[in-house]
Structure 1
Amino acid sequence: MRHARRFLLLFSLFFLLPVATHAAWWYWQPLAPDWRRADWSSAHLLPAATIEPEATIHVFAARVGRWRGIFAHHSWVVVKEANATAYTRFDVVGWGNPVRVNHREADGRWFGNVPELVAQVKGPAAEALIPRIRAAVKSYSYNSYGTYSAWPGPNSNSFVQHVLAEVPELHRALPPTAIGKDWRDDGLFAGLTPSRTGIQASLFGVAGVTLGWVEGVEINLLGLVAGLDIREPALKLPGWGRVGI
């Protein structure tokens, strides 16, 4: 009984309280009432492709729409080969065929929310990795109608996590609020983290533990993640996401 009380106390402190406070803050934000009236335009985070000749890779994440933004981000990958005149965006959505190419602006807002930059690679390093990213996109198994599941996955974040796992040289982790990133095909998983810098155990993406140099320390309960970023010191809080120290 004592252990149960301690667990409930810790769960309330590290999971429920952050979600509750972020929900209160989110309530007062100017949110689009539906997708039709949301702003999906470019956030002008990327220069025009025609004025940047070098190859580039970008991974973005933005809060999702309405009440779901309390908990979650949507993530996607953008690439541009050397001297290309346009960016190519890859992401997964929950309607129709999941995997989309150039579904929105490369650096577009998501339900009106400005994206944050998760990863960036430029120059020869990007040029070497882009073919592998394109191959990872093609190898994603859940690319047909009806295979998308918002929780616990596979969803948009499961897709980007797949790309990060196939190209660990990107050396970046998705935000702790990228619900679905810890979903695994075989349900029960124990092995290396996507970055290959640590270990991870996951139970159908709804519970698990991660310990890695890139991913940091994460405890996942019902898709909510609490923990620490070791490499770039920060707290990881459900709802709030990564809070730098």
Structure 2
Amino acid sequence: MNQARLLAHVVLAAAALTSSAGCVVLRRPTTLPPAEKPYVAVLSGEMPEPITMVARHAWIIVNVADQGPLLRYELLSRAFKETTSRPLDYFGEGDVALHGLVEKDRGSIRKMVECLDEETPRYNEEHPDYFPMPGPNSNTYVDQMLRRCNIPVDLPSTAIGKDYRGPIGVSLTSGGTGVQFDTWIAGVKLGLTEGVELHVLGLTIGVDWWPPALILPVNPGRLGFDDR
């Protein structure tokens, strides 16, 4: 059984138990600021069938607001940077969600771009292979960029691969207010804004402190108020 089929079997089993549970109150609208506003946005879209209900693919959009095009940082087979006029589009046709928006002055956003430009090829060197589960994959890349470039945004629980740290690893969380310890099999995350998460075979369950919510391994990833 290949990895993609194993992933589908595991996550669909989780979905069967929780498919009626995912619900977000006061969901953040998936809209981006106007062109004159500098920002970094972190988005994700639902994966195609058969894992639509339980997996998402993340990417980063940057607007320096210097009359240049939007920048997109993403990983398909390799991590890359490109310009885009369609920041909400991706290879799928599912729900697209905005998980975080960092709005700062142009100088601060340019520094984030410089960091992303430096860290993207470094990621490709560190992770030459791609594995759907437990990673490294597209969500591993986005999570690493958020942590290394000080972009305080948390990915949703269904961004499988976001917690990949190799065979064993410890790091700060992408939100910047907690720590996590993960192995290929299991892990745990604890943070002021992240709450408490337990990771098992790439799936995430937990409790968010504020806004209050249960964290579930099925889209949209939460039962409660929207946060990420």
Structure whose residues are more often helix by fraction: 1
1:231 counterpart letter in structure 2 = W
CA contact (8 A) 2:41 2:101 kept: yes
TM-score calculated relative to the size of structure 1: 0.72
Structure 2 match to 1:157: 139
The answer for unaligned runs of 5 or more in structure 2 is: 1-10, 22-29
Structure 2 match to 1:36: none
CA contact (8 A) 2:153 2:174 kept: no
How far apart, CA to CA, are the structure 1 residues paired with 2:85 and 2:165? 27
Which structure 2 residues correspond to residues 9-88 of structure 1 after superposition, within 5 A? 19-21=15-17, 45-46=31-32, 52-88=35-71
SS of corresponding position for 1:68: coil
Structure 1 match to 2:149: 167
Deviation at 1:62, TM superposition (A): 1.1
How far apart, CA to CA, are the structure 2 residues paired with 1:208 and 1:180? 12
Structure whose residues are more often strand by fraction: 2
- The structure number with the bigger radius of gyration is 1
SS of corresponding position for 1:128: helix
2:165 counterpart letter in structure 1 = R
Deviation at 1:207, TM superposition (A): 1.1
Distance 1:69 1:134, change over 3 A: farther
In the alignment, is residue 128 of structure 1 matched against residue 108 of structure 2?
yes
TM-score calculated relative to the size of structure 2: 0.77
**1:22-78, Cα deviation, whole Å (9 max, x unpaired):** 5689xxxxxxxxxxxxxxxxxx8346xxx6212121110111111122321100000
User: Which of residues 167, 189, 192 in structure 2 aligns to 1:210?
Assistant: 189
How far apart, CA to CA, are the structure 1 residues paired with 2:214 and 2:110? 31
What is the aligned length? 206
Distance 1:80 1:236, change over 3 A: same
User: Which of residues 118, 130, 136 in structure 2 aligns to 1:148?
Assistant: 130
User: Which of residues 218, 223, 228 in structure 2 aligns to 1:239?
Assistant: 218
CA RMSD of aligned residues (A): 3.0
Deviation at 1:98, TM superposition (A): 3.8
After superposing the two structures, state which structure 1 stretch, 57-66 or 138-147, moved more: 138-147
**1:132-158, Cα deviation, whole Å (9 max, x unpaired):** 244234324342695222111111100
After superposing the two structures, state which structure 1 stretch, 174-183 or 82-91, moved more: 82-91
Indicate the structure whose relative CO is greater, using CA pairs within 8 Å and at least 6 residues apart. 2
CA contact (8 A) 1:158 1:183 kept: yes
How far apart, CA to CA, are the structure 1 residues paired with 2:20 and 2:211? 28
In the alignment, is residue 223 of structure 1 matched against residue 202 of structure 2?
yes
The answer for unaligned runs of 5 or more in structure 1 is: 1-14, 26-43
How far apart, CA to CA, are the structure 2 residues paired with 1:22 and 1:137? 39
Which structure 2 residues correspond to residues 71-110 of structure 1 after superposition, within 5 A? 71-94=54-77, 97-102=78-83, 105-110=86-91
Distance 1:231 1:133, change over 3 A: farther
How far apart, CA to CA, are the structure 2 residues paired with 1:146 and 1:73? 21
CA contact (8 A) 1:58 1:77 kept: yes
How far apart, CA to CA, are the structure 2 residues paired with 1:160 and 1:177? 14
How far apart, CA to CA, are the structure 2 residues paired with 1:106 and 1:113? 15
